[in-house]
Amino acid sequence: MLFKRSPSPHIKQNITVQDMMYKVLYALVPGTLASIYFFGWGVVFNLMIAISVCLAAEAIILKLRRRDVTDTLLDGSALLTACLLALALPSLAPWWITVIASISAIAVAKHLYGGLGFNPFNPAMVGYIVVMISFPLEMTLWSAPLGVGDGWPDFMTTFNWVFLGVLPYGETIDSISMATPIDLIKTQLNQFHDVAETRSNVEYSPLFSTISGTGWQWVNILFLGGGIWLVKKNVADWRIPTAFLISLVLISNLFSVVDYSTNSSAMFHAFSGGTMLCAFFIATDPVTASTTPRGRWIYGASIGALVYTIRSWGGYPDGIAFAVVLMNIAAPLIDYYTQPKVYGDPNR
Amino acid sequence: MKQSKALTVEKELTKIDGGLTLVAYKHLSTGAAVSSMQQSKQYIVPLQQHIGAISQPLVKTGDRVLKGQMLAKPGDLVSAAVHAPVSGLVTDIKAHDIPHASGLSDLCIFIENDFKDEWVERHPLGDDYNQTNSSSMRKIVRDAGIVGLGGATFPSSVKQTEMNVKTLILNGIECEPYITCDDVLMREHAREVISGADIIGHIIKARQCIIAVEDNKPEAIKALQSVIDEDGTGFFKIQAVPTIYPSGGEKQLIQILTGQEVPKGRYPAELGVLCHNVATAYAIHRAVHHAEPLISRIVTVTGHGVTQPQNIEVLIGTAMHTCIEHAGGYTDESDELIMGGPMMGFSLNSDALPVVKATNCLLVTAREENPHKQHHMPCIRCGKCVEVCPVRLLPQQLYWYASSQNVDRLTEHNLFDCIECGCCAYVCPSEIPLVQYYRHAKTTIWQQERERKSSDISRERHEAHQQRLDKIKREREEKLRKKRELLKKKADAQADDKGSSNKSSKQAAIAEAIARAQAKKTERNKNKETG
């Protein structure tokens, strides 16, 4: 009897890239729901626009590259990029911001470099950076979180603003949007109001809560929860988030201990802005991160240091995207110099 | 001395790096005792069943051979003899497909069974081995054609060095799923296995012997333990080892037992240890106590593609399909035929191949188990392969460099330390056949190395030839120059010797000639005047 031949091994663990992508998406759900709860319809619109544009861009480019469209579209990677991008963008970003960011992410950052597995930079963060550099004003348009003033604008107001650029009569965009806590502390410091002063200011105090910013702290806690589940499921690497958070906490603690009047606490940094989203969902993108065990410690810790640096002294509201992409550049070098010593290596 | 580093196994065991916990499917084939088969009409005995040089035939077509007669002798130091599994007639010596990962064919001796089962004359050494020196013992092992039966098929006598080895490790790990031939051997022939280990211990002058068995084989451990208790010398010690693939790899087992790693590019003897498989020990027992060469082995015929999975005592050279038929034949679901385990075994394109010394298992898979896809996803560098690699390689980087054929980077990333255990490919979510990529890269690099070497050799030859020509030319010129000088010297010397006399004689001759001419002239004139 004759048989066909195939290479060893002849058994296989039942796990696929698709499984991993969808697990990451499930882990995003609690934090996403918190985002919607605290920042309103804008988050929903961001998600809708980003998902449809990212999937459409992916499909068109796959077609142009003569690749199998449905299989690749279903691998979940474009969907994940879309979600991460949508969650990073401000809740009141006009529709074209999201569209430009999505196209930059999928068409440029992902497919021009060869598609899944070949992109050197995190696609979602490249998309974010493109709009951040080009449209800095629109990138600060966060709605007031639930519990602060009137909270987020209603469906129609948000819809009219995001899609048509129209505001209710007599309103300005400043009356429905509000600076994020990180941004607020920075601008206040520039006007010589120290951290405690800003936090106790009657106008600003509702923005702050026990751990960090109102709303922001819950979004971060839930992304942390989803992230821990992801690590437990062995989908995300544990070293990168651990190194990132330890580094961010240590550095911010050092500065706030030395001078608490001009530096926010470690807890504030850990649970503000995109910290937890970055720690477990963005920095852990395996394609663009360092891939050796020791390299991942260095990679994560360096992102933590860069995030703190950009947040504290940089000109942008948050430092996640720049920190991640800067370390993406360094990843191949880190990998090269952090090879483990193999079995029986005489220098071990 | 290195010897002071001898094992301290009483300490706790070391964990290997990486590794996998696999579904074992061992129960499929351990239900019944080892069965024996009816003899076949024809046996095909390949001359290359071992690592090293091919063996050289001692018989020719038409010869009658006896069971156990040596058919071919070792072709070199690293080589092994092969023997007749039955008595009968040599009908042919020609190339035939052999079970090998390369799928190539090689020279085989065809024997037609006369069913007389007539043995060659045998003189078992028996218990006298204790008084026999190591080199004579190694000759017995060598003449019996014994090779490592754990899979590597390295000639055993070559491995049995007396250099510094204090500890003999008997490998009864059998970590691949499905395979149970060593398990049942230990259960049914514990005494013979221990006896074989004692003989090896004598040959290599070991001080202790550790028999390592995975803790999923309690029956085997019990059987061995009772023999060891009887022995009572304290030479043997049995060590249960946690069930993790690939604990049975020689380097991995040494790491588990000693906590030390065999230095890169060196032999385990450097750590004072030597590993032998339990089936090898059994074969050595048969050779010493029964003067029986290696003409049969236990083969696990198993998998969800076989009707009655079981262990069979099979004569070397038996066609594989007769083994499958003995095990009830294929099921409707049968898919691939694999020699060895599912992790490191290789698939065969036909079941008409002969069972060889390396055939520990014939695994027939079921269709629904087949993990191979038409296409694989790109590598997303998730690093799951790094977590499971027992050698601490970076499989994802090796894959990247293997695809781009970056030889320098492949060497820097220690491609040649890969033991091809398949752990990386097993966990890869992109389902990349990583081991296949590494094998291909290794072969390509070896090929380049060979080509470079052969071009180096021809260049050296050319240069040597050129030098030789130059030398000859120089020598000839030198010779000529010397000759010329010699001649010149000779001439000069002559000139010096008869310098003046020579000159005057010439002048005298001229003068004479002038005088003669003058004389003639005057005479003629005289004649004119008178005439």
DSSP H or E run through B273: strand B273-277
pLDDT digits (tens, 9 = 90+) for B69-127: 999 999 999 999 999 999 999 999 999 999 988 888 899 999 999 999 999 999 998 88
- The identity of residue B41, as a single letter, is K
pTM reported for the whole predicted model = 0.85
pLDDT at B271 over 70: yes
| 8 Å CB contact of B330 and A11 | no
Higher-scoring residue by pLDDT: B372, A155: A155
C-alpha–C-alpha distance, residues A307 and A176, integer Å: 28
pLDDT at B527 over 80: no
Residue B103: what pLDDT?
80
Residue B500: what pLDDT?
55
Q: Kindly list the residues from chain A whose CB atom is less than 8 angstroms away from the CB atom of residue B439.
A: 7
Residue A252: what pLDDT?
94
Residue A68: what pLDDT?
85
What percent of chain B shows pLDDT beyond 70? Answer: 95
- The identity of residue B23, as a single letter, is V
Average pLDDT over residues B414-439: 94
pLDDT digits (tens, 9 = 90+) for A46-58: 999 999 999 999 9
- Give A291's strand partners: none
C-alpha–C-alpha distance, residues A296 and A285, integer Å: 11
Q: Are B241 and B256 in contact (CB under 8 A)?
A: yes
What DSSP letter does each residue of B183-238 carry, written as one string? HHHHHH-HHHHHHHHHHHHHHHT-SEEEEEEETT-HHHHHHHHHHHHHH-SS-EEE
Q: Kindly list the residues from chain A whose CB atom is less than 8 angstroms away from the CB atom of residue B391.
A: 342-343
Which of A12, A292, A346 is nearest residue B371 as measured by Cβ atoms? A12
Q: Output the average pLDDT for chain B.
A: 90
* Regions of chain A where pLDDT drops below 70: none
pLDDT digits (tens, 9 = 90+) for B289-306: 999 999 999 999 999 999
pLDDT at B420 over 80: yes
| pLDDT-derived band at B504, boundaries 50, 70, 90 | low
CB pairs under 8 A between A and B: 163
Average pLDDT over residues B213-217: 94
Q: Hey, what are B152's tokens?
A: 């590597």
| 8 Å CB contact of B379 and A117 | yes
Task: Indicate the angle between helix axes A17-39 and A77-88, nearest 10 degrees.
Answer: 20
Q: What residues does each domain of chain A span?
A: 18-168, 181-333
| pLDDT-derived band at B164, boundaries 50, 70, 90 | confident
- The identity of residue A286, as a single letter, is P
Nearest to B337, CA basis, from B358, B318, B361: B361
Nearest to A128, CA basis, from A115, A109, A143: A109
Q: Kindly list the residues from chain B whose CB atom is less than 8 angstroms away from the CB atom of residue A7.
A: 372, 433, 435-436, 439
Higher-scoring residue by pLDDT: B507, A66: A66
Gap from A310 CA to chain B (nearest CA, Å): 28
| pLDDT-derived band at B359, boundaries 50, 70, 90 | very high
C-alpha B381: how far from its chain's center?
Answer: 35
| 8 Å CB contact of A286 and B381 | yes
Residue A172: what pLDDT?
83
DSSP character at residue B389: -
C-alpha A296: how far from its chain's center?
Answer: 18
Top residue of B16, B322, B381 to mutate, by most chain A CBs within 10 Å, is: B381
pLDDT digits (tens, 9 = 90+) for B110-122: 999 999 999 999 9
Using CB atoms within 10 Å of the CB of residue B111, give its burial: 0 to 12 exposed, 13 to 18 middle, 19+ buried: buried
The residue length of chain A stands at 348
Q: Kindly list the residues from chain B whose CB atom is less than 8 angstroms away from the CB atom of residue A346.
A: 263-264
Q: Domains plus CATH for chain B?
A: 2-335 (3.40.50.11540), 379-471 (no CATH)
pLDDT digits (tens, 9 = 90+) for A297-320: 999 999 999 999 999 988 888 889
pLDDT at B50 over 50: yes
- Bond before B246 cis per omega within 30 degrees: yes
pLDDT at B9 over 80: no
Q: Kindly list the residues from chain B whose CB atom is less than 8 angstroms away from the CB atom of residue A115.
A: 378
| 8 Å CB contact of B386 and A291 | yes
| 8 Å CB contact of B347 and A10 | yes
Residue B5: what pLDDT?
38
C-alpha–C-alpha distance, residues B101 and A164, integer Å: 67
Residues of chain A in Cβ contact (below 8 Å) with chain B: 1-13, 15-17, 19-20, 75, 115-118, 234, 237, 286-287, 289, 291-293, 296, 335, 339-346, 348
* ipTM, two decimals: 0.90
For chain A, where are the alpha helices, taking DSSP H only? 17-39, 41-64, 69-73, 77-88, 95-103, 123-134, 155-159, 173-176, 181-190, 195-200, 216-232, 239-258, 266-270, 275-277, 293-313, 320-337
Smallest CA–CA distance from B271 into chain A, residue: A344
